[in-house]
Amino acid sequence: MYEHGIWRLHFVCRVSIDDAELPDDGVAGIDLGICNLATISYGDESVLYPGGALKEDEYYFAKKRAETDDSASRKARRLDRKRTDRRTHFLHTLSKDIVSECSKRGVGTIVVGDLGGIREDENGDARNWGKHGNLDLHGWAFDRSTSMLDYKAEECGIAVVTKSERNTSKTCSECGRSDDRQRVQRGLYVCECGLVANADSNGAENIRQKVLPNLACDGGDRDNGWLAQPAVRLFDCSEGRFAPREQVVNREP
Ligand SMILES: [Zn+2]
């Protein structure tokens, strides 16, 4: 093409995108909590990550720390550093496991409940975590683990989106109702429509549905038995990784 006294060469490149390179279209929802640090819903399967190992560590270090006479001593600083290293390792391992489990299941989008909500109840007041609710620990842990999740997911081509957790624990993930006909008892969410679910799995499924077309109210009779029977992945202290509960035998230190 000759233009304004200059020859210009135009190239057109046609690039065909292989199907295999298209992002996976599965969606996983993650509910972050206190007893279960993370609960994942894959839409037909739910997996819990109990926070026990992290909590035991925290108690151990808090106790050791209290035993040191001088909080500025070298020993105290060494303990603090070790505690931070172990937390970081735990959270790295947790987010790595979540991303690899998502990847295995063809997940292209992970929806995480907005952390702003976990420190507030439905009235917007700070939640009372009780004697053992270590707000600092969890605030820290959640912020760290979501940013770790972000970059690990990105490496695998999985998008991470954040959605408000508002009403996700109260709403029935099957019929979409949130009135007085549901109750939570001993960790079970029970709705009059017949749904009996692990309460955290129900929350995670609600978070997952936030990016989906309106599935909850389609009137279909999907099998939702999986919501009542989440799988559990535990931190294996000897291996330093997460594995299905059946395979983990944690010996006392
Ligand atoms: Zn219901």
pLDDT digits (tens, 9 = 90+) for 67-99: 887 778 888 999 989 988 888 888 889 999 999
What does the pLDDT average to over 95-108?
A: 95
What does the pLDDT average to over 102-114?
A: 92
Q: Which two tokens stand for residue 11?
A: 């190239």
d(C-alpha 80, C-alpha 62), whole Å? 9
55 closest CA partner among 149, 158, 141, 178? 141
Strand partners, 182: 191
Q: How far is the CA of 167 from the centre of ligand 1 (A)?
A: 14
Q: Between the ranges 43-47, 75-79, 126-130, where is the mean pLDDT highest?
A: 43-47
32 vs 129 pLDDT, higher one: 32
Which region holds residue 223: left if phi is over 0, alpha if psi is between -120 and 50, else beta? beta
55 vs 22 pLDDT, higher one: 55
- The sign of the torsion formed by the CA atoms of 55, 60, 61, 63 equals positive
Q: Which pLDDT belongs to residue 133?
A: 45
Residue 198: strand, helix, or coil: strand
Q: Which pLDDT belongs to residue 171?
A: 94
78 vs 213 pLDDT, higher one: 78
What does the pLDDT average to over 193-204?
A: 95
Structural domains of the chain ordered from first start: 2-247 (3.30.420.140)
54 vs 32, 35, 83, CA distance in Å? 14, 11, 10
Q: How far is the CA of 177 from the centre of ligand 1 (A)?
A: 6
Q: Which pLDDT belongs to residue 32?
A: 85
Residue 125 dihedral angles phi and psi, to the nearest 5°: -85, 155
Q: How far is the CA of 186 from the centre of ligand 1 (A)?
A: 18
Q: Which pLDDT belongs to residue 126?
A: 44
Q: How confident is the model at residue 102 (pLDDT cuts 50, 70, 90)?
A: very high
Q: Which pLDDT belongs to residue 250?
A: 63
Q: How far is the CA of 160 from the centre of ligand 1 (A)?
A: 28
What does the pLDDT average to over 103-129?
A: 66
